[in-house]
Amino acid sequence: EPNGTDPVQGWIPQGIDVTRPSIARVYDAALGGKDNFEVDRQAAAQLFARVPDIREGALENRRILSRGVKFLVEQGIDQFLDLGSGLPSAENTHQVAQRHNPDASVVYVDIDPIVLAHGRAILAENSRTRVVTADAREPKAVLNLPEVRELIDFSRPVALMMVAIVHHMADDDDPAGIVRAYLDALPSGSYLFLTHFHANGSPEATAVEEELHGAHDSGRFRSREEIEAFFGGLEVVEPGIVTVPYWRPDGAVAEPLTPAQKLLLGGIARKA
């Protein structure tokens, strides 16, 4: 049931707060999507004003997501728990995974109800995919969601995806403890796939961090050491934890990378 209209989005799903920007919707706007509202486009415009090619940075994150999911299917993974999945965009986890293995299961979890509002429409026909609204900072609750229990068999390896979500967790949330709590629930042979904003000292990194704080009171860029710590105790696969365009690129990487392309570090690691 719509509760209003928006000139770009058309309809406003019920229960959606359009007076404040949301991370999912601003990211969608940065990617050039249409599932966002005026307040989100304004926040995105401020990002574009400071980092004109920010879209390329967001696209690099979507590209590693797609390459990473394909890699995970090639390792035999057919169950994906995608935390902070975001609004449907091009090449979503279930599309990539199910293209390579039609039997793959995907549970999308996002704190923002807008994701469910759009995801439900897209996924209604797909019995191997679920979308749930939940806070990923509560591993016990998420791991016990009926949708998760229905589609994911915890006696077999799982891919835990935390792609561009952990930098929205504050230090007080204990993000390392959260990642560990999920991994502890997964059997040997499972994988962690994580990307994260990198505090690399560039003016662009500072600008994005400031804008996220202004718009969302969220967004913690972390050092390489802090990001590597999330992978502690796991076997990191080649080429390691790298600036995302360098993670198993499909072809030669066009250099030099722009600062926006260098905003995130990411990698995949296996639980022994």
Contacts with ligand SAM by CB under 6 A lie at 23-24, 27, 61-62, 65, 83-86, 109-112, 115, 135-137, 163-165, 168
Nearer to ligand SAM, 6 or 173 (CB): 173
Q: Is the dihedral of CA 197, 202, 208, 210 positive or negative?
A: positive
Nearer to ligand SAM, 156 or 216 (CB): 216
What letter does residue 257 receive in the DSSP assignment?
P
Nearer to ligand SAM, 175 or 259 (CB): 175
Nearer to ligand SAM, 208 or 269 (CB): 208
C-alpha to C-alpha distance for 67 and 130, rounded to whole angstroms: 21
For residue 111, the minimal CB distance to ligand SAM (Å) is: 4
Task: Label residues 205-216 b or e (16+ Cβ within 10 Å = b).
Answer: bebbbebbeebe
For residue 99, the minimal CB distance to ligand SAM (Å) is: 17
CA dist list (Å): 154 to 131, 149, 183, 246:
18, 8, 11, 31
For residue 137, the minimal CB distance to ligand SAM (Å) is: 5
For residue 65, the minimal CB distance to ligand SAM (Å) is: 5
Task: Label residues 140-169 b or e (16+ Cβ within 10 Å = b).
Answer: eebbebebbeebbeeeebbbbbbbbbbbbb
Nearer to ligand SAM, 88 or 157 (CB): 88
SS3 7: coil
234: which 2 tokens? Answer: 């796991």
For residue 272, the minimal CB distance to ligand SAM (Å) is: 26
Q: Name the residue whose CB lies closest to ligand SAM.
A: 86
